[in-house]
């Protein structure tokens, strides 16, 4: 587990793609489980429990900045920041290079209405007036491209399920490896765990006790070195 930031109130890790953020207590393989184990070891505790709040989550195949709270007070304050959209979230996504990409020099705004598909863990884009639909907004910019692929920077302004994945797919720009939403092939990471080329690159929040801005950035996973992308994207990602 890679620790990006830790103090008495917060723990921030670089989530591994393929691991769930949280899992039932009888399932030991999750970022929450590893974070608890790290805290137990760090505190030299061999029994009992440590507090670990989860104010937000990342999809299982997504990597990047994941924030935990180490006290109930911190958890409540951080959860309120996410609920009221005070947290700035920045993602990187690799998608096909296509004419419908936003202009590289300008930031575009994507607005859609989404709904969850009943009975399965996926969503869909629907009409504005569809009952139960929720508005999804993201700010999008192209950071780099080459003949086949492009690197997007996406800043979601709302927090809908699978928001970035759905909005990209709706524009025929499926995230690399995302079979659920239209990628032509899958990607595998550590121990064969499924991953997609969507990375929570940066998180900016107010410290829950000091109320100072905290900005955390996560390096892209080493698996991205093996993605079928060209030199242009490798340079943009710093992989060359």
Question: How many alpha carbons fall within 13 Å on the CB side of residue 44?
Answer: 0
**Cα 87 from Cα 210, distance rounded (Å):** 15
User: Which listed residue (59, 112, 148, 225) is catalytic?
Assistant: 59
- Output the 3-class SS for 129-150: CCCCCEEEEEEEEEEEECCCEE
∠ CA 110-115-120, nearest 5°, is 125
3-state helix vs strand vs coil in the chain, percent to 5: 20, 35, 45
Assess whether 225 carries a catalytic annotation. Answer: no
Burial class (CB in 10 A: 0-12, 13-18, 19+), 38: middle
- Sequence-ordered list of residues with C-beta below 8 angstroms from that of 115, at least 6 positions apart, any chain: 123, 124, 126, 130, 132, 133, 134
Residue that the structure tokens 């692929």 belong to = 149
- Output the 3-class SS for 169-189: HHCCCCCCCCHHHCCCCCEEC
Residues 121-145 as b/e (b if ≥16 CB within 10 A, e otherwise) read eebbbeeeeeeebbebbbebbbebb
Say how far residue 18 (Cα) sits from the centre of its chain.
12
Active-site positions? 59
């Amino acid at each position: 587990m890679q620790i990006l930031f830790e103090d008495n109130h917060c723990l921030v890790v670089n989530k591994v793609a393929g691991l769930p953020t949280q899992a039932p207590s009888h399932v030991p393989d999750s970022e929450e489980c590893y974070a608890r184990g790290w805290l137990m070891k760090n505190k030299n505790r061999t029994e009992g429990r440590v507090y670990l709040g989860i104010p937000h989550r990342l999809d299982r195949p997504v990597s990047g900045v994941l924030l935990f709270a180490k006290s109930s007070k911190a958890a409540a304050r951080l959860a309120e920041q996410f609920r009221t959209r005070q947290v700035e979230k920045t993602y990187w996504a690799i998608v096909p290079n296509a004419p419908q990409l936003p202009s590289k020099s300008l930031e575009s705004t994507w607005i859609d209405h989404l709904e969850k598909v009943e009975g399965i863990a996926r969503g869909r884009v629907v009409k504005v007036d569809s009952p139960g639909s929720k508005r999804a907004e993201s700010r999008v910019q192209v950071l780099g491209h080459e003949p086949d692929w492009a690197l997007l920077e996406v800043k979601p302004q709302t927090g809908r399920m699978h928001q970035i994945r759905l909005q990209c797919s709706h524009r025929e720009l499926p995230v690399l490896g995302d079979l659920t939403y239209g990628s032509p092939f899958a990607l595998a990471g550590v121990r064969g765990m499924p991953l997609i080329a969507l990375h929570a690159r940066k998180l900016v929040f107010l410290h829950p006790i000091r109320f100072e801005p905290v900005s955390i950035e996560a390096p892209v996973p080493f698996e991205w070195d093996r993605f079928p992308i060209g030199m242009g994207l490798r340079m943009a990602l710093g992989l060359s």
